[in-house]
A and B are shown apart, each in its own frame.
Chain A
Amino acid sequence: MTTMTDPPKAEGFRIGQLINDTRYRSYTFQFIAIVALIFAFSWLAYNASQNEQLQANGFSYEFMSAPAGYDINQQPISYDSQDTHLRATVIGAINTLIVAFLACVTATVFGVIAGVLRLSNNWIISKLMAVYVEIFRNIPVLIWIIIIFTVAANTFPPMSEFRLPRDGSDPTRTLLFGMFAATNQGVYVPRLTLGDTGWIVIATFLASIAGVFGMRSFARKKLYDEGKVVPVLWPSIAILIVPAVLMQFILGSPLGVENPEMGRFSFDGGILLRPSLIALWFALSIYTGAFIAENVRAGILAISRGQSEAAAALGLRPGRIMSLVVLPQALRVIIPPLISQYLNITKNTSLAIAVGYMDLTATLGGITLNQTGRALECILLLMLFYLTFSLIISAVMNVYNNSVALKER
């Protein structure tokens, strides 16, 4: 009894307390962890500094301003082999972002469709989706990329069948509708050309899109305030198309279409979607789509059945129950894992090298590194690029997540 009421003796600090006293124990271990971490990193740095190659060459990014000397096939901004390594790096970074963006969009579409359909009451559809998810999720994405690339090279007709034979006869194959061609050197699609006043048509179209949103919110307001149902679908389509088409006629067709045309070896003009881009894009989409499908399914199953039963009792049809009641709630469960999937896609684009897609890893981490021999500099910069991309994507997606998260008032 007395021991409990006695004030603690003002005894001195003992070393043993660092381990035995819960007040200090966590500090002790944190301190040890930090010291170990510092040691590990300084050992790495020391080891690197002792590298003969590095001692001889020094650590410098001067090579970035030297001419790259190599060519890049997919050039979102203009480039030739006399431009600097820095410009080649930037092009690689843009190519990475292009394929990452495309793959994120299509993976989401595939994932949402497959995830919802897997919960379908239709036995065949739900099993088909289960098969899709299990097959694509359980085979490494690199294998898928190579499979699709090889299949594309061997199943699409070779370019030689499109060429004009030298004896003057007709080629074996011609453009589909005079606009499209799928060859094993890539898929050619028409390109939009912009005349002098073309921007007016584009601006009109953008204004129309804003108009459609305005129109929809007007219809919603009408529905909530007065209970009147205003037709939305047809007016939306009309608002979207009519003004831009009118403007195109008034200004004398400034917007044009440039079709691919056969040159000596391949098509000139139009846009070329290279097999490497298609293989990478498609493989990343279906592979990650399978993961997203599972996230979506988990999100939907997380919503209690009572919600959809209550909505059904109110007379909502199944499609509306899904889009108005279940999905908005399910998004709260779906978004956080979806962020990781987007990050996975972005990082997996570095597998581009397997099919020769000129992304950041192929330019900076591949040819530039190999031609300059600046391995440490290139890899560090490469890490910095991917880290930045990933952090930006997670920041943006977190903002979106906060907007759909449960509001605690």
Chain B
Amino acid sequence: MNKSVLFGTLAFAGLAAAGASAATLDDVKARGTLNCGVTTGVPGFAEPDSDGVWQGFDVAVCRAVAAAVLGDSDAVTFVPTTGKTRFTSLASGEIDMLARNTTWTFSRDTDLKFDFTGVNYYDGQGFMVPTDLGVASATELDGATVCIQTGTTTELNLADYFRINGMSYEPVPIETGAEAVQQFLAGACDVYTTDRSALAAQRAGFENPDNYMLLPEVVSKEPLGPLVRHGDSEWFDIVKWTLYALIAAEEYGVTQANVEELASAPGDNPEVNRLLGTEGELGAMMGVSNSWAKDAIAAVGNFGEIFDTTIGESTAIGLARGLNAQYTDGGLMYAPPFR
């Protein structure tokens, strides 16, 4: 009899484990917090501030999703992940979503069984060198020593780029971005390569930023975006449309300052009305409250505001909008209709 109890417990535990990952939304609601995977610290993108509160461009996506689902942008547990641990954390269910400068690639989407919910930053891989190295182009780097963050797509792009151009190099694989920068500043490698946004972010933190320069070559497409586990379409939709809500908000001029006012009564623009829940039941269609988009925008601002306050030209990072401008301004940011 004892044995049958044991079997029963085992079987139940197994079922519970199998069922746990199927409905992320229910898990998040039951838990009351969103577990969001971020970097171990990239200035502007995700870094704890002096009070220990996580701030940044990727962090804002986590906060927006938490606000949309739970109505509270502080109900987020930030889980710092390295380039190597991020996918295991997501696949194992330790985190509900990953917003960590992660490049959307075919094999990650299909073979690794993840779903990218969109792109929040269009990036490309670049090279940073000390100005006194006397190099003006990446094609002159034959024989150079290159620091790379291991476990990233940059590692593969680098190998491809040097192979295709018939050049040799000495890779110095480093586990985290901070260590790589340390080695680069000490001169233990001539070149540091990663996404150009991260290069710009880290260069901004150097003691003498003018002694270093970014080479003009962009050797890869790096669409960075949040991702979730494959197979939970409901949760996928929520993360995806929260991101689109932020982008659409910028397009329609909904800002952190005026969102409360616009959401109080239906206005002239039916798209804004549907977005903010004054018309239709968009929130209910996804299984969240009807004020989901309003909560998200009220918490973190629209996409443009997030960009400007975390990594934009007015910040130390100083990144231009470029490809990340709205499509109406010649960029690639384009949200499908809210209807």
Contact = CB atoms under 8 A, between A and B. Distances in A.
Contacts of B230: 56
B159 A160 contact: no
A71 B158 contact: yes
Interface string A67-86: 00111110000001110000
Contacts of A82: 163
A375 interface: yes
A38 B172 CA distance: 45
Contact of B170 (A46, A266, A370): A266
Q: Is the interface of A mostly helix, strand, loop or mixed?
A: helix
Interface stretch (B187-195, B218-226, B286-294): B187-195
Contact of B190 (A43, A69, A159, A373): A159
Interface residues of B, number: 50
B113 A53 contact: yes
A366 B170 contact: no
A264 B143 contact: yes
A159 B145 CA distance: 10
A166 B150 CA distance: 33
A184 B170 contact: no
Interface string B112-153: 110000000000000000101110000001111100001100
B155 interface: yes
A82 B163 CA distance: 9
A275 B173 CA distance: 12
B202 interface: no
A371 to B, nearest CB: 7
Nearest to B183: A153
A22 interface: no
A70 B162 CA distance: 11
Interface residues of A, number: 46
A366 B144 contact: no
A184 B143 contact: no
Nearest to B186: A153
A159 B143 CA distance: 13
A52 interface: yes
A356 B173 contact: yes
A81 B160 contact: yes
Contacts of A153: 182-183, 186, 188
Given A69-B159, A158-B186, A275-B188, A266 B143 contact: yes
A371 B188 contact: no
Contacts of A369: 84
Contact of A184 (B17, B132, B163, B188): B188
Q: Which of A82, A265, A268 neighbours the largest number of chain B CB atoms within 10 Å of its CB?
A: A265
B170 A166 contact: no
Nearest to A159: B187
A266 to B, nearest CB: 6
A266 B171 CA distance: 13
A52 B175 contact: no
Given A158-B187, A185-B188, A356-B150, A46 B163 contact: no
Contacts of A375: 88, 91
B5 interface: no
Interface of B: 6, 10, 14, 17-18, 21, 83-84, 87-88, 91, 108, 111-113, 130, 132-134, 141-145, 150-151, 155-156, 158-160, 162-163, 169-175, 182-183, 186-190, 229-231
17 contacts: A47-B17, A50-B14, A52-B229, A56-B231, A70-B155, A71-B171, A80-B163, A158-B186, A158-B187, A166-B134, A268-B143, A275-B188, A356-B175, A358-B173, A367-B155, A370-B83, A375-B88
Question: 5 smallest A-B Cβ distances: which pairs?
Answer: A158-B187, A81-B159, A370-B151, A356-B173, A373-B112
